[in-house]
Amino acid sequence: MSIDIRERMPSMGELITAAIDKAKSQMVTSLPAKVVSYDAAKQTIKAQITVKAYIQQEDGSTKAVDYPQLEDVPVQFPGGGDQVMTFPVKEGDEVLISFASRSVDSWQQSGGDQSPQDAGMNNLSSGFAQLGFRSQPSAAKLKDVSTDAVEMRSVDGNTRVSVSQAGGMSVATDKSVSVAAAQGVTMSGGAGDINFTGTLKVDGEIELNGIKLSLHKHTGVVPGGGTSTGPTN
């Protein structure tokens, strides 16, 4: 039994579906990558995408190949209202790069309202890097993640600032803590006490209720083993 040649030809719908599928396969929206280098002045990275692309060979087979290295990818530091949280981006850090639906070159260079330089969509040159996404091997290094507190911490957990509704706020580190305040430091224990353990070294003056430690005097001083009255200026 002969087969009509039209039965061997794909229908118009199949051709359209195939064309759409090919276009979708070539579009990038978000991809994981690793930092190759970081420009702290520009806050951009050079990055290598860590999921390979498939290209079709002449014989119809497919081959996995590396994406080209991405240049000048802006790094997101969360912030707003003239306040920002920055991170010491390092070579090898994992990131997620999202690709804008229009060219952002003019915006990146000049800020403000800009027209796209071209009609490209989701181009590899229009990416933004988001820090903090982790593959399972990287996530395994981040141990003892709190399930009831917000923490700013080192990966090894030896330094952390923890904030929770139940436990308040705590600071813990195996290093030193430094506070520098040009206009002074104010501490209040509220209804509780401020407790200090260790040696308190002061380069300056200690004043208690208006009485300076280095200059104070005692009244009611008597010879021998008598007890003087309290300190005074």
The answer to whether position 227 is within a domain reads no
Position 73 pLDDT exceeds 60: yes
Structure tokens at 95: 């990131």
For residues 99 and 131, state if they share a domain.
yes
The answer to whether position 215 is within a domain reads no
For residues 163 and 117, state if they share a domain.
no
The answer to whether position 15 is within a domain reads no
For 95-145, the pLDDT digits (tens) are 999 999 998 989 988 999 999 888 788 889 999 999 999 999 999 999 999
Contact 229, 219 (CB under 8 A): yes
We report the CATH number of the domain holding residue 49 as: 2.40.50.230
CA dist., res. 52 & res. 65, Å (int)? 5
For residues 45 and 108, state if they share a domain.
yes
Burial 18-45 (b: 16+ CB within 10 A, else e): eeeeeeeeeebeebebbbeebeeeeebb
The answer to whether position 57 is within a domain reads yes
State the residue range of the domain holding 148.
Answer: 143-174
The DSSP call for residue 75 is B
For residues 98 and 133, state if they share a domain.
yes
Out of 99, 126, 141, a domain closes at 141
Number of structural domains found in the chain: 2
The pTM is what? 0.79
Position 23 pLDDT exceeds 70: no
For residues 119 and 102, state if they share a domain.
yes
Average pLDDT, the chain: 89
Position 163 pLDDT exceeds 80: yes
Out of 155, 174, 193, a domain closes at 174
Of the listed ranges 29-33, 38-42, 43-47, 117-121, the one predicted with least confidence: 117-121
Burial 186-221 (b: 16+ CB within 10 A, else e): eeeeeeeeeeeeeeeeeeeeeeeeeeeeeeeeeeee
Higher-confidence residue: 4 or 13? 13
Position 38 pLDDT exceeds 60: yes
pLDDT score at 177: 94
For residues 65 and 148, state if they share a domain.
no
